Amino acid sequence: MKELDIAFSPCPNDTFIFHAMLNGLVDTRGLKFRPYIDDVEALNEKAEAGAFHITKMSFAAYLKFSNNYELLDSGSALGYGCGPLLVARSSKINIASAKIAVPGRYTTAYLLLKLWHPGAIDIEFTRFDNIMEGVQSGKYDAGLIIHEGRFVYENYNLKKIIDLGEWWEKETKMPIPLGCIAIRKDDETIAFKQDVEAVIRYSINYAFHNRNASMEYIKSHAQELEDNVIESHIELYVNEFSLSLGIKGIEAIRVLRDMAKRSKII
């Protein structure tokens, strides 16, 4: 049995996707997976060194480190109405002078912020789960929130400055590519690419048809434990693009790459 390590985030969309394949609930095609769970920016940083056989990473990181990894057709987070939000205590804020908390240098959220407003230069990188409290306390003037944050930021008395997903959709008419699953390019690993894609697809289909099976596993890792937040998170980030990127998903990734290159961001 071939063993492969697989790294992903503790967010509900990832734990929902990978639960079945990690717990013997679907055919794994003779593969055994060793899970490693960490914040997506930590995974982005480890991808630079090719640390894992299979890893979740932001699409921005994938575009930067694609010499190490090849994109998998299944497991990605793309969609509509699911982009990062820039929030602040007041809706009136000078972006050019604001101190902005960002969930990582290699996140797609930061790439989108730079595409939308290149003048945003006072940036502090911090874990995504530090941002809302940091903005609320006044440590930061604004914060770029991802994951479950879009569902709960109002609980921190924060105001939305811009939905960068909406901005992206208006600019491109495309779904927004947020996160992907990629496999290391070394010969020993890449040989299993099609099998891994199939197993992830089996795992997603199982999750869709057995919605409650993974809930305990999801809650053991989630930042926000309310059922409605978890369900909203999964519904937003796990969709047909997660099963297969398809023509539209691949085109959206190309558009993101081309915009980033034109702006000399990557």
pLDDT tens digit sequence for 59-107 = 999 999 999 999 999 999 999 999 999 999 998 899 999 999 999 999 9
For residue 86, the 8-state DSSP code is E
Domains of the chain: 2-79+177-262 (3.40.190.10), 85-172 (3.40.190.10)
| Residue 183 pLDDT greater than 90, yes or no | yes
Query: Quick one: pLDDT band at residue 111, thresholds 50, 70, 90?
Result: very high
pLDDT, position 149: 82
| Residue 266 pLDDT greater than 80, yes or no | no
For residue 35, the cross-strand partners are 6
Q: Which whole number is the average pLDDT over 118-143?
A: 95
Two structure tokens written together for 102 = 């960002």
For residue 144, the cross-strand partners are 86
Query: Quick one: pLDDT band at residue 9, thresholds 50, 70, 90?
Result: very high
Catalytic (active site) residue 53:
no
pLDDT, position 22: 98
- 134-165 burial code (b ≥16 CB/10 A, e <16): bbbeeebbbbbbbbbbbbebeebebbebbbbb
| Residue 224 pLDDT greater than 80, yes or no | no
Strands 123-125 and 100-102: parallel
Q: What is the mean pLDDT of the chain?
A: 95
Q: Determine the Cα–Cα distance for residues 13 and 8; give it in Å rounded to an integer.
A: 10
pLDDT, position 133: 96
CB within 8 Å of 158: residues ≥ 6 apart: 87, 88, 89, 132, 135, 136, 143
pLDDT, position 225: 72
| Residue 29 pLDDT greater than 90, yes or no | yes
Lowest-confidence pick of 59-63, 123-127, 178-182, 230-234: 230-234
pLDDT, position 151: 85
| Residue 265 pLDDT greater than 90, yes or no | no
pLDDT, position 229: 84
Catalytic residue among 147, 209, 221, 233: 147
**Residue 31: CB atoms within 10 Å:** 19
More confident residue, 230 or 258: 258
pLDDT, position 155: 93
Q: Determine the Cα–Cα distance for residues 236 and 11; give it in Å rounded to an integer.
A: 12
130-136 contacts: CB < 8 A, separation 24 or more? 130/101, 131/101, 131/103, 132/87, 132/156, 132/158, 134/101, 135/87, 135/88, 135/89, 135/101, 136/89
Q: Please state the separation of Cα 232 from the chain's center in Å.
A: 15
The 10s digit of each residue's pLDDT in 238-264 is 999 999 999 999 999 999 999 999 988
